[in-house]
């Protein structure tokens, strides 16, 4: 609890290429909101406060104590604000999967700006755009020049644009973890070195998962979750369903598995992973119960979308970053 003499922490929350869920997760502090409000001054939060970009630009550098930046960087506005908030913040936290690794918006790295624009503005079934007009960054109207951000070809994580102090993973991060991290900062506890992941365990999901595991990890066929009658207690992998749990940090309370859905990897890889998805890819391949080319390939046919499965939240952070364009 902050005392009267200690100045309140200046806190900012910003959303770039985001769904808004991370902002909701901050609001989800519920009754802990009073602790937060007592300890912090919210100085910038587009979803909740009427503070403008120019107000942020006017702040002295380092004025903001902590910025929780969620969302990926996929256009020039996102990039501008990432750089601006980096300048204006003492501690910049990449909050949530999108800022951490690119997240769901990161899946756009399977295609190109051209592909996206064609789909969105021309090909999509409900679009009526006979002149094939695409958004332009500048447009002249009688009143002057209208500007909108430039849409980039590639999605990037926050750390690929600016230096990040901490990563708080999750889609969205579990609110309890946010409160823990926030209170650690507020109480001046010793923080891990810059660049660390906070609010998540070092060990992966299996460590906390209550499902029964055995050494029988060989798979003759992979199933989508809806294709099996889940017995509710056996490890998903042993039932042939790909669960990213073994390669995903814990800290979310194993919430998807508790809800009888396999983990999809939103908390990202464990420490020192060279790539967010390749080790799970190797593990899954090793589990394939076949030694002949054609048998192996038949089983792999049942893995519908390896790239989307192993890199659902982390494509921009992967070694390849995106498809060849």
Partner 1 sequence: MDFEPKIVSFLCNWCSYTGADLAGTSRMKYAPNIRVIRIMCSGRVEPTFVLKAFREGADGVLICGCHPGDCHYHEGNYKCLRRYHLLQKYLKQMGIQGERLKLEWVSASEGKQFADLADSFTETIRGLGPCKVKENVETLA
Partner 2 sequence: MEEQRIGVYLCWCGTNIAKMVDVESIAEEVGKLPNVVIAKNYKYMCSDPGQELIVNDIKEHNLNRVVVSACSPRIHELTFRKALENAGLNPYLFEMANIREQVSWVHTDRTAATRKARQLVKAAINRVVFHEPLDKRSVDINPATLIIGGGVSGLSAALEIGEAGKKVFIVEKNSKLGGHTADIDLTYPYMYSAGQMLDSMVQRANDNPNIEIFLESEVDEIFGYVGNFESKVKDKNGKETELNFGNVIVATGLKPFDAGKIDNYGYGKLPNVVTSVEFEKMLKTGNILTKEGKEPKNVAIIHCVGSRNPDYHEYCSRICCMVAMKFANQIKSALPDSNVYELYADMRAFGKGCEEFYSLSSSKNILFLMFDQKEGLPLIKKAGSGDNCDMIIEMEEKLSGENIEVPADMVILMVGMEAQDNAKDIAHQVGVSMCGNDFYIEKHPKLDPVATTTDGVYIVGGCQAPKDITDSVSQARAAAARILASIAYGSVEVEVTTASVNEDVCCGCQTCIKVCPYTAISFDEEKNVSVVNEVLCKGCGTCGSTCPTGAIKCKHFTDVQILSQIEGLMTLEEV
3-class secondary structure per residue, 139-196: EEECCEEEECCCEEEEEECHHHCCCCCEEECCCCCCHHHHHHHHHHHHCCCCCCCCCE
In the bound state with partner 2, the residue whose beta carbon lies nearer, of 127 and 286, is: 286
- Run of H or E residues at 55: helix 53-58
Which residues are bridge partners to 156 per DSSP?
Answer: 73
Question: Applying CB under 8 A, does 290 fall inside the site for partner 1?
Answer: yes
How many degrees, rounded to 5, is the angle at CA 282 between CA 276 and CA 284? 105
Question: Applying CB under 8 A, does 16 fall inside the site for partner 1?
Answer: no
Q: How far apart are CA 94 and CA 160, in angstroms?
A: 11
Q: Are 90 and 43 in contact (CB under 8 A)?
A: no
Q: Are 116 and 152 in contact (CB under 8 A)?
A: no
Question: Applying CB under 8 A, does 154 fall inside the site for partner 1?
Answer: yes
Answer left, alpha or beta for residue 219, where phi above 0 means left and psi between -120 and 50 means alpha: beta
In the bound state with partner 1, the residue whose beta carbon lies nearer, of 192 and 271, is: 271
In the bound state with partner 2, the residue whose beta carbon lies nearer, of 1 and 283, is: 283
Residue 125: CB minimum distance to partner 2, A: 40
Question: Applying CB under 8 A, does 2 fall inside the site for partner 1?
Answer: no
Residue 189: CB minimum distance to partner 1, A: 35
Residue 281: CB minimum distance to partner 2, A: 9
Residue 313: CB minimum distance to partner 2, A: 16
Residue 297 binding target from partner 2, partner 1, none, CB below 5 to 8 Å by type: partner 1
Q: Which of residues 107-126 bind partner 1 (CB under 8 A)?
A: 110
Buried (b) or exposed (e) across 139-156, using 16+ Cβ within 10 A? eeeeeeeeeeeebbebbb
- Give the number of other CB atoms < 10 A from CB of residue 167: 24
Q: Are 105 and 313 in contact (CB under 8 A)?
A: no
In the bound state with partner 1, the residue whose beta carbon lies nearer, of 89 and 109, is: 109
> In the stretch 218-257, what mask flags binding to partner 1 with x, by CB under 8 A?
----------------------------------------
* The only residue of 156, 211, 249, 312 in contact with partner 1, by rule CB under 8 A: 156
In the bound state with partner 1, the residue whose beta carbon lies nearer, of 215 and 293, is: 293
Eight-state DSSP code of residue 19: -
- From the list 19, 68, 317, 77, the residue with the least C-alpha distance to 177 is 68
Question: Applying CB under 8 A, does 266 fall inside the site for partner 2?
Answer: no
Residue 218 binding target from partner 1, partner 2, none, CB below 5 to 8 Å by type: partner 2
Residue 69: CB minimum distance to partner 1, A: 19
In the bound state with partner 1, the residue whose beta carbon lies nearer, of 17 and 303, is: 303
Residue 208: CB minimum distance to partner 2, A: 9
Question: Applying CB under 8 A, does 196 fall inside the site for partner 2?
Answer: no
* The only residue of 50, 140, 231, 293 in contact with partner 1, by rule CB under 8 A: 293
Q: Are 243 and 224 in contact (CB under 8 A)?
A: no
- Kindly list the residues in this chain that would bind partner 2 in the complex (CB under 8 A): 202-207, 213-218, 235, 237, 245-247, 250, 270-274, 279-280, 282-283, 286-287
């Amino acid at each position: 609890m902050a005392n009267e003499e200690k100045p309140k922490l200046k806190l900012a929350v910003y959303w770039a290429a985001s769904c808004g869920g991370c902002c909701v997760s901050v609001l989800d502090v519920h009754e802990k909101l009073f602790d937060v409000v007592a300890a912090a001054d919210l100085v910038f939060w587009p979803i909740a406060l009427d503070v403008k970009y120019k107000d942020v630009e006017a702040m002295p550098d380092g004025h903001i104590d902590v910025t929780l930046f969620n969302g990926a960087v996929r256009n020039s506005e996102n990039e501008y604000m990432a750089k601006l908030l980096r300048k204006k913040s003492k501690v910049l936290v990449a909050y949530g999967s999108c800022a951490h690794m690119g997240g769901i918006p990161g899946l756009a790295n399977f295609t190109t700006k051209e592909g996206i624009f064609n789909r969105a503005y021309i090909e999509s079934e409900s679009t009526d755009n006979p002149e094939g007009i695409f958004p332009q960054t500048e447009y002249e109207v009688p009143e002057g020049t209208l500007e909108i951000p430039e849409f980039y070809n590639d999605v990037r994580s926050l750390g690929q644009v600016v230096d990040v102090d901490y990563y708080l993973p999750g889609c969205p991060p579990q609110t309890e973890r946010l409160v823990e991290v926030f209170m650690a900062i507020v109480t001046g506890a010793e923080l891990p070195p810059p660049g660390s992941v906070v609010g998540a365990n070092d060990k992966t999901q299996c460590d906390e998962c209550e499902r029964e595991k055995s050494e029988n990890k060989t798979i003759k066929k992979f199933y989508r979750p809806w294709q099996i009658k889940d017995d509710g207690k056996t490890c998903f992998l042993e039932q042939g369903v790909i669960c990213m749990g073994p390669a995903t940090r814990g800290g979310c309370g194993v919430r998807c598995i508790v809800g009888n859905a396999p983990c999809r990897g939103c908390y990202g890889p464990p420490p020192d992973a060279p790539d967010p998805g390749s080790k799970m890819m190797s593990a899954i391949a090793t589990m394939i119960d076949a030694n002949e080319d054609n048998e192996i390939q038949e089983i792999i046919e049942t893995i519908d979308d390896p790239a989307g499965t192993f890199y659902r939240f982390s494509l921009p952070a992967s070694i390849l970053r995106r498809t060849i364009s």
